[in-house]
């Protein structure tokens, strides 16, 4: 959710908002070089986020750490003026991001078990409440331990929804449901429910006065006027929750399903193969990513609602909330809408694609699979370069191209990697389905 980084050239003391220094002819920093440096910085932020959460659970990768050092040094002022090498570094960043996402997945599974498909209520249960937002499963686990027997119900919000699929977390009966949707509904959601709120990672918004005094942060998050908790002693959050009014018993409009791990999906592999070979399943789409509160992002819901019934949709990250309330039904026992988890679970999507490719005896890029992605923040940059490093082509990206992409970079992304900006849903659907 951070604004575009500014590129600062120390040779001319000129800040240029993500573009080139105005004296590029003097210091030699061309617009494309400056923008590629910004791209790499965004990717490194995404990698660092995943590495941080893995380290919380005791997992580190020296190769990833070494790359972060080298890449950060490379984007230091006036170190690298070579556009081609910066593209190569972006591809390498994509490969490092795959490593760190695998590491984080292993950490989550070792700590909490592999996710299983789980139905999650979206209403409220009677009683005191704490809402947990962000991505930090470790913080959620510690909170669940400390709230056992207190009568407090714990709810997830946004990217915390997939927590319900982990056996080690879903065993807590007071983890009762999910409230709200993507990150940007925080102000209306947190105002509406008199609950204590814990923000565990990025995607936390500066709060409204209506709930500021009952909000808390932990980990890397800091918000003005909000009490920060170092470590995992959540006593202040619990005390606040106990002091607030009870939430009423109020059923939600829908029940969501999450927790489709690699094992859960690939266990259906033989049946999927039968249905593909029989023409019952003709295409898979990955529709998800980092959502944004723009009218343009209504595209994704319209696209999915228009899909023929012989298609299967995989989804992940907060972008899933554009579509995860849709009842797409099944294709002879195979769900047509499969929620793979958080943004870091993009690695699960990759592993599923690789598993299906092995099942069919083809390359991943030869699968009947189309990626239709939402674009917003730094993790999305890292994931995009991961997909390009794996050889995926023809990716649909929206609602706009990355802000660091000038005409030269767009030409590379489109001509060499086949990246295309989303258009009208009906036109894109015709191109995807054929």
Instruction: State pLDDT tens for residues 262-283.
Output: 999 999 999 999 999 999 999 9
- d(CA 30, CA 26) in angstroms, rounded, equals 10
What is the rounded end-to-end Cα distance, in angstroms, of the chain? 36
Q: Is the pLDDT of residue 2 over 90?
A: no
Query: Pairing state of beta strands 420-421 and 396-398?
Result: parallel
Average pLDDT over residues 163-192: 98
**Residue 80: pLDDT band by 50, 70, 90 thresholds?**
confident
Query: H or E segment at 370?
Result: strand 369-374
- d(CA 299, CA 41) in angstroms, rounded, equals 29
**Residue 259: pLDDT band by 50, 70, 90 thresholds?**
very high
315 has which bridge partners? 339
pLDDT in tens, 317-357: 999 999 999 999 999 999 999 999 999 999 999 999 999 99
- Three-state DSSP class for 172? coil
258 has which bridge partners? 118
Kindly tell me the number of DSSP H helices and DSSP E strands found in the chain: 15, 18
Q: Which of 49-58, 80-89, 181-190 has the least mean pLDDT?
A: 80-89
pLDDT in tens, 206-235: 999 999 999 999 999 999 999 999 999 999
CB 356 within 8 A of CB 274: no
pLDDT at 208: 98
Give 407's contacts (C-beta < 8 A, 6+ positions apart).
Answer: none
pLDDT at 370: 98
- Report the largest interatomic distance among the alpha carbons of the chain, rounded to a whole angstrom: 67
> Which token pair is 256?
């969501």
pLDDT at 400: 83
- d(CA 115, CA 78) in angstroms, rounded, equals 46
Between 26 and 93, name the one with better pLDDT.
Answer: 93
pLDDT at 29: 52
> Which token pair is 234?
């959540």
Of 7-16, 110-119, 376-385, where does the model show the most confidence? 110-119
């Amino acid at each position: 959710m951070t604004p575009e980084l500014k590129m600062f050239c120390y040779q001319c003391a000129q800040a240029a908002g993500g573009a080139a220094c105005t004296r590029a002819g003097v210091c030699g920093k061309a617009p494309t070089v400056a923008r590629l440096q910004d791209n790499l910085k965004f990717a490194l932020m995404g990698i660092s986020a995943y590495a941080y959460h893995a380290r919380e659970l005791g997992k580190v990768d020296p190769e990833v750490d070494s790359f972060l050092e080298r890449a950060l040094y490379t984007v230091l002022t006036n170190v690298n003026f070579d556009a081609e090498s910066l593209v190569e570094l972006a591809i390498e960043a994509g490969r490092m991001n795959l490593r760190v996402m695998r590491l984080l997945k292993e950490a989550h599974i070792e700590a909490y078990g592999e996710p299983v498909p789980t139905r999650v209520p979206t209403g409220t249960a009677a009683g005191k409440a704490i809402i947990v937002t962000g991505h930090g499963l470790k913080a959620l686990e510690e909170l669940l331990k400390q709230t056992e027997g207190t009568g407090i119900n714990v709810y997830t919000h946004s990217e915390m929804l997939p927590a319900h699929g982990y056996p080690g977390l879903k065993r807590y009966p007071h983890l009762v449901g999910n409230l709200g949707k993507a990150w940007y509904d925080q102000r209306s959601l947190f105002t509406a429910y008199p609950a204590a709120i814990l923000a565990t990672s990025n995607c936390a918004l500066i709060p409204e006065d209506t709930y500021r005094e009952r909000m808390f942060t932990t980990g890397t998050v800091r918000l003005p006027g909000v009490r920060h908790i170092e470590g995992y002693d959540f006593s202040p959050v619990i005390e606040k929750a106990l002091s607030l009014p009870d939430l009423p018993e109020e059923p939600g409009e829908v029940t969501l399903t999450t927790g489709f791990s690699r094992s859960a999906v690939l266990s259906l592999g033989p049946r999927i193969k039968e249905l593909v070979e029989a023409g019952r399943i003709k295409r898979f789409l990955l529709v998800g990513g980092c959502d944004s509160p723009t009218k343009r992002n209504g595209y994704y819901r319209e696209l999915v609602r228009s899909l023929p019934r012989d298609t299967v949709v995989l989804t992940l990250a907060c972008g899933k909330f554009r579509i995860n309330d849709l009842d797409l039904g099944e294709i002879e026992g195979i769900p047509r809408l499969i929620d793979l988890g958080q943004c870091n679970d993009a690695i699960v999507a990759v592993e599923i694609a690789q598993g299906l490719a092995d099942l069919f005896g083809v390359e991943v890029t030869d699968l009947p699979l189309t990626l239709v992605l939402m674009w917003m923040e730094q993790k999305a940059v890292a994931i995009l370069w991961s997909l390009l490093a794996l050889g995926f082509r023809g990716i649909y990206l929206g609602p706009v191209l990355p802000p660091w992409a000038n005409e030269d970079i767009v030409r590379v992304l489109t001509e060499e990697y086949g990246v295309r900006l989303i258009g009208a849903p009906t036109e894109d659907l015709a191109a995807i389905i054929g």
